[in-house]
Structure 1
C-alpha cells in the first residue's frame, strides 16, 4: 500500500469530523466551564464506575459552556487523572546477580 493510499482513510475521517456540530441546547454560557471541566476530567474514573449503577451520575456535564469545558475535561483526564500515570514505569530490583567472567 502506498503512502497516499494510507492517507486516504485519515483524510476521509477528518472530513467527516468536520461535519460534526454540537446541539445548541448543549451549550450555555452560564453552565460549567473550564474549572469544572478539569474537576470532571479528574474524577472521571470514579464517575464512570458510579454511572454504571446510578442513573443520576454522568461522566460529562450537559449543558456546558462549550470548548473551554471540553479543554478543561481533557486537562483533567490527561494531566491530572488517569492519563497522568500511564507513561511511568516503576522497576523494583529484588536481587542482583553478578556475572563472573572467566578468562
Structure 2
C-alpha cells in the first residue's frame, strides 16, 4: 500500500511539473517570464531537459523572458538547487 501511494505521488508531481515548463507557449513577448519564473524553470531544468528530448517545443530555458532578472533567477536556481546556497552547514 505504501509503495502504491509513493508511486502515485511521483506520477502526480510529474504531471504538475509538466504543466509549467519553458517553451509551452504560456509566455509571449507581451507577457514575458520574470524572476520567479526563472527560479522555477531553473529548479525543473533537469526534468525539462528529459521531456524536451521527446517533445520539440519544450526547452530548458524560456526564450520570452524579461532579460536580466529572469537570467538571475534561473542561474540562482541552477546553482543552488534546493538549498545549495546555504552559507552555514552543520
TM-score (norm 1): 0.49
4+ residue runs over 6 A deviation: none
Deviation of 1:52 after TM superposition, in Å, equals 1.1
Deviation of 1:63 after TM superposition, in Å, equals 1.2
Deviation of 1:38 after TM superposition, in Å, equals 0.1
RMSD (Å) for aligned C-alpha atoms: 2.0
What pairs up with 1:10-89 in 2 under 5 angstroms?
A: 28=29, 30-80=31-81, 84=84
Q: 2: CA distance between counterparts of 1:54 and 1:41?
A: 19
Number of residues paired by the alignment? Answer: 56
Mark the runs of 5 or more structure 2 residues left unpaired by the alignment: 1-28, 85-90
Give 1:22's aligned residue: none
Q: 1: CA distance between counterparts of 2:79 and 2:47?
A: 15
Deviation of 1:62 after TM superposition, in Å, equals 1.0
| CA radius of gyration, larger in | 1
Give 2:87's aligned residue: none
Deviation of 1:76 after TM superposition, in Å, equals 1.1
Mark the runs of 5 or more structure 1 residues left unpaired by the alignment: 1-27, 85-103
